[in-house]
């Protein structure tokens, strides 16, 4: 059976629902379920999604969504479809751009507005962590809050298992939409709020233009290929090699992992996505391996 609604975990689907100007109310509703009372969003504006660093040789960062509230808080929203090496490191790195862009020319007292890095994860981030919602801040050695303006929030979708009848909060309902939207053929009775009727209307595939439908089909194919490639790598035991390369810091081990992925049919772009390396780094490793 063909789906009635798009998959919000695809790049196209995610940006269609939350990244377009006419649908800002959907993003505001979703984000407000994650934020404390003093940082609830009334208005939101999108800012640039790509940062190139200070010099031309610096690594660039491209966010799925990057926005700012009317009171100055910054929100980086990332959709992550497969487990990635150094995922937490990447979150920290991305947050630095939202911090640096607040710098003012001339005299400045270094006062910053809050920065939230929000990850929607279609994988289990930490095996020892069992919650759906994972919120991290900087704390001292006595577990006291050291700095409240830097926040990392992760939604671990595989751990959300509520049925439509069990939904209680607005956050529950948004999580249910993320996980089940492409399986539904109408708006469930539990999602009676106007914001969800708007969401389902925007997500209806039948209203897409031929160009939008083609872009969505390409996006869903990439999503499925990426998940299948990662599952293959996991089954072949390559994830174990990734972890060994991470914790031991051995370049040789990481190169062997990259070679193994390539020999299992994964392309350079997919290898880069899974390992957290750039495509250039992956190509260099494969080239060096050929010459040894």
Question: How far is residue 279's CA from residue 130's CA, in Å, rounded to a whole number?
Answer: 33
For the chain, give every domain's residue range. 11-209, 236-290
Give the model confidence (pLDDT) of 253-264 as tens digits.
677 778 877 877
| Range with top average pLDDT, 78-92, 96-110, 235-249 | 96-110
Give the model confidence (pLDDT) of 7-51 as tens digits.
999 999 999 999 998 999 999 999 999 999 999 999 988 775 554
- pLDDT value at residue 63: 55
Q: What are the structure tokens assigned to 272, written together?
A: 């880069």
In the predicted structure, residue 122 carries a pLDDT above the cut 80: yes
Question: How far is residue 81's CA from residue 275's CA, in Å, rounded to a whole number?
Answer: 13
Stronger pLDDT, 141 or 226, i.e. the higher one:
141
Give the model confidence (pLDDT) of 40-91 as tens digits.
999 988 775 554 444 443 444 455 888 999 889 999 999 988 877 778 888 8
Neighbour tally for 69: CB within 10 Å: 21
């Amino acid at each position: 059976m063909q789906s009635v609604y798009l998959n919000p975990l695809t790049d196209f689907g995610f940006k269609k629902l939350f990244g377009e100007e006419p649908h800002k109310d959907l993003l505001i509703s979703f984000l407000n379920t994650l934020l404390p009372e003093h940082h609830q969003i009334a208005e939101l504006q999108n800012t640039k999604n790509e940062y190139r660093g200070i010099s031309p040789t610096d690594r660039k960062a491209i966010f799925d969504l990057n926005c700012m509230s009317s009171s100055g808080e910054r929100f980086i929203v990332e959709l992550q479809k497969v487990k990635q090496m150094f995922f937490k490191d990447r979150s920290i790195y991305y947050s630095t751009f939202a911090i640096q862009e607040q710098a003012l020319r001339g005299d400045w007292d270094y006062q910053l507005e809050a920065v939230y890095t929000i990850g929607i994860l279609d994988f289990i981030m930490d095996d020892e962590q069992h919650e759906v919602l994972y919120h991290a801040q900087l704390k001292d050695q006595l577990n006291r809050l050291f700095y409240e303006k830097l926040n990392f929030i992760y939604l671990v979708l595989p751990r959300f298992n509520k049925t439509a009848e069990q939904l209680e909060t607005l956050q529950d309902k948004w999580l249910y939409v993320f996980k089940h939207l492409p399986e539904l053929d109408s708006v469930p009775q539990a999602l009676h709020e106007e914001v969800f009727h708007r969401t389902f209307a925007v997500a209806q595939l039948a209203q897409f233009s031929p160009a939008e439908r083609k872009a969505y089909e390409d996006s869903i194919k990439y999503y499925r290929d990426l998940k299948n490639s990662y599952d293959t790598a996991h089954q072949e035991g390559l994830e174990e090699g990734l972890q060994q390369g991470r914790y031991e810091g051995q370049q040789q081990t990481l190169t062997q992992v990259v070679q193994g992925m390539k020999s299992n049919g994964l392309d350079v772009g997919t290898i880069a996505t899974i390992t957290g390396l750039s495509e250039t780094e992956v190509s260099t490793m494969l080239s060096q391996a050929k010459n040894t």
